Structure 1
Amino acid sequence: MSGMEETYTSGRAWISKDSPTAAEIFREYPQFLDMPSLLDLEFGKLTGGKTDLFLRKWEASIIPKLKTACYTALVVLTHLLPPVGASRCSLKSAITHLVDFALPGTSIASLCSDPEASSTTHQPQLICIGDLKSATRQYVIVAKNDKVTIPLNDGLTCAVDKLFKLYWVCNLSYPAPLGSVFTFFEFVYDLPLSTQRKTKVLELIAQIKACK
């Protein structure tokens, strides 16, 4: 962690100026793969200490106002903020850009090579090995194009939190079909909303704020 602290300024300058791929970033900083908690540290420095806002606000106030189950809430959120414009696709396809499923027993190593193990999205996504009812399910961040997998040990909320932070730490564009959904996550993190198409996002935020 002290090493990451010492190289933070030069590392951010490199990422911002040269826009390296996730694979290049992880070759330079393999600690992110060994210790996913470093994503929390890096994201906190990027956003002025907003590391745990998603976990606190999503569980405490967002989920109860959408639905009670986390995956269901993500599906509902995607329905409320569907793909638009050139990124338009089915809602079922859109949600796979955030989290998709692999059969129980699937090896983590195969997630970057097996076409049946994940959806066709080429940007980092979550893969749930198992199903939502399985007590042994595991979430993995998979950047298929970069041949990178990051196993995570906590539940879906923590996995989504880590995925969002990965996009920021690696300076990646959000998946086009989920641009509005990721913009809504920016609201949860108390960050400036980045997308130009944010009318529906602002409407949903206003509705949530109006809920008692």
Structure 2
Amino acid sequence: MPSLLDSEFGRLTGEKAELFLRKWEANIIPKLKAVAAMEPRLCTLLKGIEDMTEDEACYTTLVLLTHLLPPVGVSRSAKKTITNLLDFVPPGTRIASLCSDSSASSTTHQPQLICIGDLRSLKQYVIVAKNDKVTIPLDDGLTCAVDKLFKLYWVCNLSYPPQLCPVFTFFEYIYDLPFSTQRKAKVLELIAQLKACK
């Protein structure tokens, strides 16, 4: 199923399926770190990022992104916002239980990523759509999992979670897609900051 998301997304977007994977780690993460380093409230999140695994660095960058692009009109902390994108369950959790176990993830009813385990040790990522009782196990790292989650939203024409609308709009920029929302001022401001980074 994940490969079908890639091919369908590529067909719908004119072969832009690989843009996120090409840009995220090589281009976007370093520039987001540079922007975050200029904001005192975010400097603590950057501590030790050079010593992190790829998945830990990706997760830290996603947390930075939720701070830089807070939800509009939704009163949620950045900590709660990130759980709508990626939540964690203990190692050994059965994938089949993720759709029925209310404690397995946050209260979101839209597709989200679940990490079985933690970012340092043996882990597996799964896209979970509780309402539809769908689970999509993923074999690659967190960057690929985020890529697949975005493609699921795009291919299935799902509305973005309100808490993550600015983050998903930023992902549209990475994929070089037209913005699907009118509320994009913060995203455009962040893009301008990234373009100013060398």
The match for 1:99 is: 86
The match for 2:77 is: 90
User: Which structure exhibits the higher relative contact order, with contacts defined as CA atoms closer than 8 Å and separated by 6 or more residues?
Assistant: 2
Runs of at least 5 residues in structure 1 that lack an aligned partner in the other structure: 1-34
- Check if 1:37 corresponds to 2:37: no
Query: 2:71 is matched by which residue type in structure 1?
Result: P
Identical positions, percent: 80
CA distance in 2, matches of 1:162, 1:113: 22
Matches within 5 A, 1:171-186: 171-186=157-172
- Check if 1:58 corresponds to 2:24: yes
- Check if 1:79 corresponds to 2:45: no
The higher radius of gyration belongs to 1
TM-score by length of 1: 0.81
CA distance in 2, matches of 1:154, 1:82: 28
Q: Give the match's secondary structure for 2:63.
A: helix
The match for 2:46 is: none
Alignment counterpart, residue 151 of structure 2, candidates 165, 180, 201: 165
CA distance in 2, matches of 1:125, 1:43: 18
Deviation (angstroms), 1:73: 0.2
Query: 1:97 is matched by which residue type in structure 2?
Result: N
Question: How many residue pairs get matched?
Answer: 176
The match for 1:19 is: none
The match for 1:118 is: 105
CA distance in 1, matches of 2:192, 2:177: 16
Deviation (angstroms), 1:66: 2.2
Runs of at least 5 residues in structure 2 that lack an aligned partner in the other structure: 34-48, 50-56
CA distance in 2, matches of 1:106, 1:49: 36
Q: Which runs of 4+ in 1 moved over 3 A?
A: none
Q: Which moved more, 1:63-72 or 1:100-109?
A: 63-72
